[in-house]
Amino acid sequence: MLEKNQIYQVKIIDDGYQGEGIAKIDNFPIFIQGAIKGEEVKIKILKVQSSFAYGKIIEIIKQAKNRVESECKVYNKCGGCNLRHIDYEYTLKIKKAIVQNCLYKALNKNIEVKDVIGMKKPMFYRNKLQYPIGLNKNKQAVMGVYSNRTHNIVPVSKCYIQNKICNEIANDIFEFINKNNISVYDEVTLKGTVRHIVIRIGVKTNEILVTIVVNDNNLKKDKELVEYITKKYPNIKTIVKNYNTKNTNVILGDRNEIIYGSGYIYDILGEYKFKISPLSFYQVNPIQTEILYNTAIKSIEKNSLADKQIDIALDLYCGIGTIGIFASKYFKKVYGIEKVKQAIDDAKENAKINNVENIEFHVGDVEEILPQILKNINKTPNVVFVDPPRKGLDNKTIDVLKKIQPEKIIYISCNPATLARDLKELEEKYLIKEIQPVDMFPYTSHVECVVAMILKEHL
Ligand SMILES: C[S@@+](CC[C@H](N)C(=O)[O-])C[C@H]1O[C@@H](n2cnc3c(N)ncnc32)[C@H](O)[C@@H]1O
């Protein structure tokens, strides 16, 4: 029986989902963070559960050829890029296996998954930085990232997946906060002002949106901060104070106050321009987003896209309307549904600025709004795009889809586990035609998939 603190030498027989290697002692699995399949490592047992244990590497005896040196200083403490010790090409193979395993477990059969589409340069790709600001043990202000599974802030001044300019701006704002003794939020007493800095950049337009998340109305020297930071970075188009007074893990509150500029920025994806506001969802990796959306659009009907317009499409969980607008030229009419009002306001504006007249957006929960729209249009949509949050589709929406039976469902998912669960339900009526993973989040264990499904009756 394994016990805490025991030392073993083990062979890593598989890669886990989150940058851990898996070894077995007498058939008992041990998860070892940072180990790679094929390696031989000396480990210390950290914790023993009823059916598995956790171990920690003490020494690498035989190193895998896929191991790389991480250039990031805080990699071992940060909970973000848990695959950074692995060669990028091999991380794509791990991600493909994650998708395959989830599908196999849910559907009880092997389903072909295409190779993950990776990035040519998987660095500095994020267009949205969000750093918590708080107090360290010595009650000094600190800005950085939460260390793995905790709320301790690890100081970070350079992150290898964030846009470089956003990194610099965050550092300058934090320096200003420190120099001017601006109060920062204390998660213990729930007092203090600045909680987060969120910075978004339109990588094609170079427009920057800074959001300062505050816990109260006491942000000192905000005018001086605006003057200093906008002078230094003229690309900052707008600065917004966002009030979040709740004791919560959610970063943004509901209320914004514009303290500089218009309150929004624009970015360009493909041939379209998009307005982005602080509360609206916008994919964080714009280079891969174009690939993701084009993969989704191609799945509509590979051979007939160029010459044929199809009747009706739905864009469920539409955010600022990106997928619906990308798809609009292939349909007579597109309907988008999204629950965040600010995102729907952006979506309507986005349709206007791109001269897309055949799209209509509705605000509300998909569960509630979808049945109403279907009743109003009184026709079966031909294609339904769904792009839900990590928790996937709810039962009500799955039931509605199975009942109305569109010819195609294109499911865009950022969570292979809930994707597999939902495909199991939809598989009753739909044939899974293609699963294309796209690496939207290099070096993290997240993976995005586009799944094309076709109604079995239609075959
Ligand atoms: C993964 S994002 C996709 C957004 C968009 N398709 C895109 O590519 O930018 C999921 C979106 O679903 C919205 N959402 C979450 N739950 C919802 C619900 N029950 N009904 C409608 N929208 C919801 C979120 O606000 C978010 O904008």
* Domain final residue pick, 224, 242, 269: 269
Does 304 have pLDDT greater than 60? no
* Domain final residue pick, 19, 37, 62: 62
Share of the chain above pLDDT 70, in %: 98
In this prediction, residue 150 has a pLDDT band, given cuts at 50, 70 and 90, of: confident
The token duo for 81 is 């890029």
The span from the CA of 354 to the CA of 428, in Å, is: 38
Residue 362 has what pLDDT?
A: 98
The span from the CA of 291 to the CA of 299, in Å, is: 12
**Cα 100-300-205 angle, rounded to 5 deg:** 90
Ligand 1 center from residue 293 Cα (angstroms): 15
Would 26 be classed as within a structural domain?
yes
Residue 308 has what pLDDT?
A: 56
Quick one: CA dihedral 260, 261, 264, 269, positive or negative?
A: negative
Would 139 be classed as within a structural domain?
yes
Q: Are 125 and 119 in contact (CB under 8 A)?
A: yes
Question: What is the three-class DSSP state of 450?
Answer: strand
Report the pocket of ligand 1 as residue ranges, CB < 6 Å: 281-283, 317-319, 322-323, 337-340, 343, 365-367, 387-389, 414
Ligand 1 center from residue 38 Cα (angstroms): 40
Residue 4 has what pLDDT?
A: 96
Does 77 have pLDDT greater than 90? no
Does 310 have pLDDT greater than 90? no
291 and 248 assigned to the same domain: no
The span from the CA of 263 to the CA of 237, in Å, is: 8
Total tally of structural domains belonging to the chain: 3
Q: Which atom of ligand 1 is nearest to the CA of 280?
A: 27
The residue-averaged pLDDT of 90-119 equals 95
**Total number of residues shown for the chain:** 459
Residue 276 has what pLDDT?
A: 97
The span from the CA of 389 to the CA of 272, in Å, is: 23
Beta bridge partners of 153: 146
Residue 71 burial (CB count, 10 A): 10
414 included as an active-site residue: yes
In this prediction, residue 254 has a pLDDT band, given cuts at 50, 70 and 90, of: very high
Ligand 1 center from residue 338 Cα (angstroms): 6
326 and 389 assigned to the same domain: yes
319 and 264 assigned to the same domain: no
Does 306 have pLDDT greater than 70? no
Nearest CA to ligand 1 atom 13: 317
Would 96 be classed as within a structural domain?
no
Residue 282 has what pLDDT?
A: 97
Residue 309 has what pLDDT?
A: 64
Tens of pLDDT along 212-228? 999 999 999 999 999 99
Of residues 383, 381, 338, the one with CA closest to residue 361: 338
In this prediction, residue 29 has a pLDDT band, given cuts at 50, 70 and 90, of: very high
Q: Which residues, in sequence order, are CB contacts of 271 under 8 Å at separation 6+?
A: none
Q: Any idea what the CATH number is for the domain that residue 353 is in? A: 3.40.50.150
Nearest CA to ligand 1 atom 27: 319
Q: Which residues, in sequence order, are CB contacts of 416 under 8 Å at separation 6+?
A: 98, 99, 102, 103, 447, 449
Residue 76 has what pLDDT?
A: 84
Which amino acid belongs to residue 56?
K
Which amino acid belongs to residue 10?
V
Does 294 have pLDDT greater than 80? yes
pTM: 0.94
The token duo for 30 is 């041990």
The span from the CA of 276 to the CA of 7, in Å, is: 52
Q: Choose the residue to mutate in 338, 415, 450 for probing ligand 1, maximizing ligand atoms within 8 Å of C-beta.
A: 338
Q: Any idea what the CATH number is for the domain that residue 182 is in? A: 2.40.50.1070
Residue 9 has what pLDDT?
A: 97
Share of the chain above pLDDT 90, in %: 90
Q: Choose the residue to mutate in 127, 290, 339, 369 for probing ligand 1, maximizing ligand atoms within 8 Å of C-beta.
A: 339
The residue-averaged pLDDT of 2-26 equals 95
Average pLDDT, rounded, for the chain: 95
429: domain range?
Answer: 285-458
* Domain final residue pick, 269, 297, 324: 269
Does 206 have pLDDT greater than 60? yes
Q: What are phi and psi of 213, to 5 degrees?
A: -90, 125
Tens of pLDDT along 227-252? 999 999 999 999 999 999 999 999 99
Nearest CA to ligand 1 atom 26: 319
Ligand 1 center from residue 70 Cα (angstroms): 34
Q: Are 323 and 281 in contact (CB under 8 A)?
A: no
349: left (phi over 0), alpha (psi -120 to 50) or beta: alpha
Does 302 have pLDDT greater than 90? no
289 and 265 assigned to the same domain: no
Would 18 be classed as within a structural domain?
yes
Q: Which atom of ligand 1 is nearest to the CA of 385?
A: 6
Ligand 1 center from residue 364 Cα (angstroms): 10
The residue-averaged pLDDT of 390-406 equals 97
Tens of pLDDT along 403-417? 999 999 999 999 999
Q: What are phi and psi of 291, to 5 degrees?
A: -65, -45
Marked catalytic residue, from 81, 159, 414, 449: 414
Q: Which residues, in sequence order, are CB contacts of 84 under 8 Å at separation 6+?
A: 19, 68, 70, 72, 75, 160, 443
Nearest CA to ligand 1 atom 4: 319
The token duo for 118 is 């990776």
Question: What is the three-class DSSP state of 255?
Answer: strand
Helix-then-strand count for the chain, H and E? 9, 22
Q: Choose the residue to mutate in 250, 252, 281, 441 for probing ligand 1, maximizing ligand atoms within 8 Å of C-beta.
A: 281
Query: Exposed, middle or buried: residue 238 (CB in 10 Å: 0-12, 13-18, 19+)?
Result: buried
Q: Are 128 and 200 in contact (CB under 8 A)?
A: yes
The residue-averaged pLDDT of 357-376 equals 97
What does the CA dihedral 41, 45, 47, 53 come to, rounded to 10 degrees?
50
Strand (E) or helix (H) holding 296: helix 286-298
The residue-averaged pLDDT of 350-360 equals 98
The span from the CA of 46 to the CA of 43, in Å, is: 9
Residue 379 burial (CB count, 10 A): 11
Ligand 1 center from residue 222 Cα (angstroms): 32
The residue-averaged pLDDT of 303-326 equals 83
Would 87 be classed as within a structural domain?
no
